[in-house]
Structures are given as C-alpha cells and as structure tokens.
Amino acid sequence: MEATKPHIALLASPGMGHLIPVLELAKRLVSHQSFKVTVFVVATDHASIVSSQLLQSPVSSDGDDLLEVVLLPLIDVSDIVGPGVSFIQQIEATMLRSVRFFRTEISKMKTRPTALVVDWFGTDVLEVADEFNMLKFIFITSNAWFFAFALYTPAIDRKEIDDHAKNQRPLKIPGCRPLMFEDTTEFSLMDPNDPAYQRHIEVIIKMSLTDGILVNTWEELEPTSLKALRDARKAPIYPIGPLIRPIEKSVSCSGIIDWLDKQPQESVIYVSFGSGGTLSAQQVIELAWGLELSQQRFLWVLRPPSEKDAAGAFPGLLA
C-alpha cells in the first residue's frame, strides 16, 4: 500500500509580492519533496490575480495533481481605508478577517493538511492550525538579515534606538551589519507605546512558538545572520533558498531584455514600488523628471491604477 503523501497548506497574504514567493515555495515542495500542497490565497481583488496568469500553470504537468490553489472569498476592508491607515494595517486587517474563511475551507476538506505555512502577515491564522492539530511554520520571503533585525528590535536598549534616531548613529544588531540611519526602517524608530509596535511584538512572539521558520536564503550567503537567529533560541531556522521566480522571456518584454543586454554591467537603476506602492499623477511626473535629471540608465516598472492587470516597463538612458 502506497504511503500517504504529506499534505501542506500554504497561505498567501494579499499582494503579488506575497503570492509569488508562496507559489514558488509550493512548486518546490511538489517538485523536490513530492508533497501534496494546497495554496490558499487571500485577496481583496480576484480579477487582478486571475488575469495575472500566475495561477494558470503553477507547476509542470507532472505535478498538477499535487498542487491545488484555493481563492478565499473576497475580503472587504473598505471601512478602514483612509488617509491615516497604512498599507500594512490594511493587510493585517484583511488577514484577520480571513481567519473564519480559512477555517471553513479547512473544515470542509476530506483530507486535511498536516502542516500550515504562513508568511509574516499570517500569524493570526495560526490559531486554525492549533484547532486542527496542524504543525505551524513561518515563511520569511526576504533574507536572514532582515528577519534577524526584526527579531532583535524589541530587545535592543531604548537608549541605543533613541541615539540612532536623534544622532543618526549606526544601530548594532546581533548577527547583522550595523544599520545605518539612511537605511533605517519604521521598526527601529517606532514608539514602544505605538499600537503598531505592540503588534510587531505580538507577531514575533507567535513566530517563536511555531515548529519552524523557513527563510529564503542559504547557509553560505548569510552564515552570521543565520547563526544569530539560531542563537536567539526561538523556533528552529531552516534556510530554504534561493527561491526565485524563473524569468520567461516573452514577446512583450523582449525589447527591454535586449536593451538591458546592451548596457554596461551594473549600470542600470531598477525602479519598482511593488504591488502595494501607489503614486499620484504629480508624484509620477516628479519621479520621471528625477530619473531624467539623474543622467543614469534606468528601468522603471509602472502600473496604471485604473488597470490593475496591466503594467509597463520603461527603459531609459539619459546620459
């Protein structure tokens, strides 16, 4: 009798920047481990995901029976969208409201997953894994350095953080190169009394109680940061990278690739704000002028807000 294949559930937070890495991890689990994988997608807009063709052929034909993609019902967060609500807060609210839909989908499955993998924004959904006796894992889509920085931030002496913020001195993080002020993040400047900071602490605690943390890196690339993460004695750390999306040269981008091939090595600036970045028309104009006046070669990816499934890439050499 053939042994039952391990069944893993992956949950993708809203945004292509979260969906793409999760799909790549799913494909790796299918092709390298022969696991059965169900990817649950949380979204506020199904149309842009379906039209992106990411879900059309997520794996080769040999693994089609091992990978399933489930679009959870649309999550409405229109009641909290406003000038004072950040994009991160919108994602967090979306994920919190998705818990009941995810629970329903899991309860309907005849063969339920034995493990759940969520990304940074999916820690609220881990309660469902507890309810159904599933192992819990976190998938860090960025590198070990960033995760080590985020993990250690709550433990850093507040005086050091204030010195970093006020006097712009480098912030020392165990296992990481010092964080220069010009490269600082919102975590390092956040007020401990800020609800967002308390949320960050809550997320870190939930991560530390999981069965493991998967990091999109590899041992030889970040040995010091990986050692620092393991020394923190939190959840086990598993470097599983590099996980990248293969580049397929299409007719629509062939001209851009040809242009890039003709440029000197490391001479082109790449500009993209991801699926969550939004600029006004005036800001787009200012950025265009800035790129032109920089006298540098550049490749600019721009997505019109009224056509979410369309994107344009603009190469330029203004020297």
| pLDDT tens-digit series, residues 111-170 | 999 999 999 999 999 999 999 999 999 999 988 988 888 888 777 777 887 888 788 888
Euclidean distance between CA atoms 315 and 267, whole angstroms: 12
45-54, 200-209, 293-302 — which one is most confidently predicted on average?
Answer: 200-209
Average of pLDDT values for 11-27?
Answer: 90
The pLDDT of residue 114 is 96
**Residue 183 bears catalytic tag:** no
Which has the higher per-residue pLDDT, 287 or 49? 287
Segments of the chain assigned to CATH 3.40.50.2000:
7-239
CATH architecture of 7-239: 3-Layer(aba) Sandwich (3.40)
Q: Each residue of 45-92: pLDDT tens digit?
A: 665 565 555 665 555 445 557 899 999 998 888 888 777 777 788 889
Q: Choosing from 46, 64, 119, 258, which is the catalytic residue? A: 119
Does the bond joining 192 to the residue before it have cis omega, within 30 degrees of 0? no
Identify the pLDDT of residue 16: 80
pTM, full prediction? 0.79
Q: Given 18, 124, 164, 200, which residue is catalytic?
A: 18
Question: Which tokens sit at 33?
Answer: 């481990």
pLDDT > 90: percent of the chain: 34
- Asked if residue 95 has pLDDT above 50, the reply is yes
Catalytic residue status for 119: yes
Please give the pLDDT value at position 277: 64
pLDDT value at 319 more than 70: no
